[in-house]
């Protein structure tokens, strides 16, 4: 366990994210005894407290962007003495930030492998959501992509996330199950970058999470991957051991498992853990 936080460590922020403010903010470091409307114990203070809100910083996988931004509204409404800031990026980038001592309190990754690699840095990870893969193509599917096997066609430009990125590793596992071998045009740093390549017409197809395809609306079309070839992504969340806001951080991670939070995640296409 590290004993010193290096506040100058950089934090990478995806283009669709909420900008991360330096530091973790003020507020109590204990958990408090009140309870919020969500049924999760409030992290500090009460509804009538004159204290400034306790602030936590959450490092979260890029695929959680939409769901977590809405979840923040619900969480802070029920816990008025709390504030939550997010930094979204590929899970491998988040892990690097934690190891470098970035000023953060919670980390949520898109796979258990990345979280397992942070065992010395975090407290007791909990699964809070699951996801699946899909193929994304241009609206109307003009290149007639129907299966994973089609991605090996020489006339298609295909992009994947890099092999160290959870969605990139999942995509390669899915292709291997189907016996398909491809050479992607590019290997992106996170799932949002893969989606953007297809949306901008820079690629004919890519493999992303079903939640990301849903978030794009009519900007892309989705081609289902059968369950026999698909891969289930498991999302764990944990409090960072070096956090100075252990109580508020733990309260947020517990809240993610409440019916209120799970309903928000379901709205964005995530499945229950």
Whether residue 34 has pLDDT greater than 50: no
Whether residue 155 has pLDDT greater than 50: yes
- Does a structural domain hold residue 10? yes
Whether residue 9 has pLDDT greater than 70: no
For range 12-26, the mean pLDDT: 37
- Does a structural domain hold residue 231? no
Residues 195 and 64 grouped into a single domain: no
Q: In whole numbers, what is the pLDDT of the chain averaged over residues?
A: 86
- Does a structural domain hold residue 21? yes
Residues 47 and 152 grouped into a single domain: no
Domain with 163 in it: what CATH number?
3.40.190.10
Residues 137 and 165 grouped into a single domain: yes
| Total count of domains within the chain | 2
Quick one: pLDDT at residue 35?
39
- Does a structural domain hold residue 183? yes
- Does a structural domain hold residue 230? no
Residues 122 and 148 grouped into a single domain: no
- Does a structural domain hold residue 229? no
The residue range of the domain holding 175 is: 133-224
- Does a structural domain hold residue 169? yes
Residues 161 and 196 grouped into a single domain: yes
* pLDDT tens digits along 172-193: 999 999 999 999 999 999 999 9
- pTM of whole model > 0.95? no
For range 251-267, the mean pLDDT: 97
- Does a structural domain hold residue 206? yes
Residues 197 and 270 grouped into a single domain: no
Residues 7 and 117 grouped into a single domain: yes
Of 201, 224, 247, the residue that ends a domain is 224
Q: How confident is the model at residue 33 (pLDDT cuts 50, 70, 90)?
A: very low
**How far is it, in rounded angstroms, from Cα 217 to Cα 115?**
30
**How far is it, in rounded angstroms, from Cα 75 to Cα 129?**
17
**How far is it, in rounded angstroms, from Cα 120 to Cα 208?**
30
For range 104-127, the mean pLDDT: 97
CA–CA distances in Å: residue 273 to residues 50, 128, 233, 265: 37, 5, 10, 11
Residues facing 67 on adjacent strands = none
Residues 220 and 247 grouped into a single domain: no
**How far is it, in rounded angstroms, from Cα 12 to Cα 190?**
12
More confident: 33 or 230: 230
* pLDDT tens digits along 80-93: 999 999 999 999 99
Contacts from 223-228 at CB under 8 Å and sequence distance 24+?
223/134, 223/135, 223/136, 223/137, 223/141, 223/145, 223/146, 223/147, 224/134, 224/135, 225/132, 225/133, 225/134, 225/135, 225/148, 225/174, 228/177
Residues 110 and 3 grouped into a single domain: yes
Residues 93 and 168 grouped into a single domain: no
Residues 10 and 116 grouped into a single domain: yes
* pLDDT tens digits along 36-52: 434 444 454 444 444 56
Residues 103 and 192 grouped into a single domain: no
């Amino acid at each position: 366990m590290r004993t010193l936080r290096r506040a100058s460590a950089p934090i990478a922020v995806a283009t669709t994210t909420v900008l991360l403010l330096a530091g973790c903010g003020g507020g109590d470091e204990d958990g408090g005894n009140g309870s919020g409307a969500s049924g999760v114990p409030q992290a500090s203070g009460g509804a009538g407290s004159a204290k400034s809100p306790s602030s936590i910083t959450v490092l979260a996988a890029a695929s959680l962007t939409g769901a977590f931004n809405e979840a923040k509204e619900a969480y802070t409404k029920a816990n008025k003495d709390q504030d939550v800031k997010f930094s979204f990026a590929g899970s491998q980038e988040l892990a690097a930030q934690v190891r470098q001592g970035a000023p953060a309190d919670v980390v949520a990754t898109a796979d258990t492998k990345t979280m397992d690699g942070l065992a010395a840095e975090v407290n007791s990870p909990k699964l809070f959501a699951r996801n699946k893969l899909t193929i994304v193509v241009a609206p109307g599917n003009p290149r007639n992509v129907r299966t994973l096997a089609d991605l090996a066609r020489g006339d298609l430009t295909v992009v994947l996330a890099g092999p160290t990125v959870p969605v990139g590793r999942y995509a390669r596992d899915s292709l291997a199950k189907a016996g398909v071998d491809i050479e992607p045009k590019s290997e992106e740093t996170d799932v949002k970058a893969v989606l953007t390549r297809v949306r901008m017409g820079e690629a004919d197809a890519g493999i992303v999470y079903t939640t990301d395809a849903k978030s794009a609306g009519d900007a892309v079309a989705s081609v289902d991957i059968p369950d026999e070839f698909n891969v289930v992504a498991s999302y764990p969340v944990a409090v960072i051991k070096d956090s100075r806001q252990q109580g508020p951080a733990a309260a947020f991670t517990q809240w993610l498992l409440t019916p209120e939070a799970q309903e928000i995640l379901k709205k964005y296409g995530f499945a229950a853990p």
